[in-house]
Amino acid sequence: MSMVSKLNDSIIKSKSYLCIGLDPHPNEMFVENVFDFNKQIIDVTHDLVAAYKPQFAFYEALGISGLQALKETISYIRNVNPNIIIIGDAKRGDIGSTAKAYAHSLFEFWDVDIATVNPYMGMDTLLPYLEYNDRGIFVVCRTSNSGSGELQNLVVFDDEKKKLFEFVADLTFGISDGSNVGLVVGATYPEDVKIIREKHPQVPILIPGV
């Protein structure tokens, strides 16, 4: 089953478009153990969500214990509800064999369904992720931070005048038939979400910043 089909199936079964971030910020946790913190969230939400999104940086910052907690968290989600989509929010971006190694790590070791990826080095760097027919990627397109427009709003010329984030969205569908790709478009810029949705009505959009 393709990534988009799996995502749609999860949305239908959960009757929800909600994706919950599992971001164990040390200053915001109500328990000391990272896995226990995540487990309590999962236990009360697993029948209400279509996806969970662990942000890898928070786990990597904690060293080996954080990575162990991430592995436990992913395994726990799989056991509680195997239909729920797991998005590995790692925003990887590199060339050649390094991209292949990132794809292998995210899909085969961490066992996430979808990886967030950065397209800045070119669309060819995303191809290793697309070799996994039952997995997929969310391509960083229009981000929610205040400085994102410094690059993402730059005007470029393709067949028409457009902003860089629109160009990224268009390029994404030059490397895929749409069955295994989506876009990251921040909620802080609703007018840009509208632009992407109108141009690409079928694409799954991950909307952070809500």
Q: Which residues are designated catalytic?
A: 91
Rounded (10°) CA dihedral 98, 166, 188, 46: -60
Q: What is the largest CA-CA distance in the chain?
A: 54
Q: Which residues of 157-175 are buried (b: 16+ CB within 10 A; e: fewer)?
A: eeeeebbbbbbbbbbbbeb
| CA dist., res. 11 & res. 16, Å (int) | 5
| Residue closest to 116 by CA, chosen among 97, 85, 144, 139 | 139
| Buried-exposed string 181-194: b where 16+ CB fall within 10 A, e elsewhere | bbbbbbebbeebbe
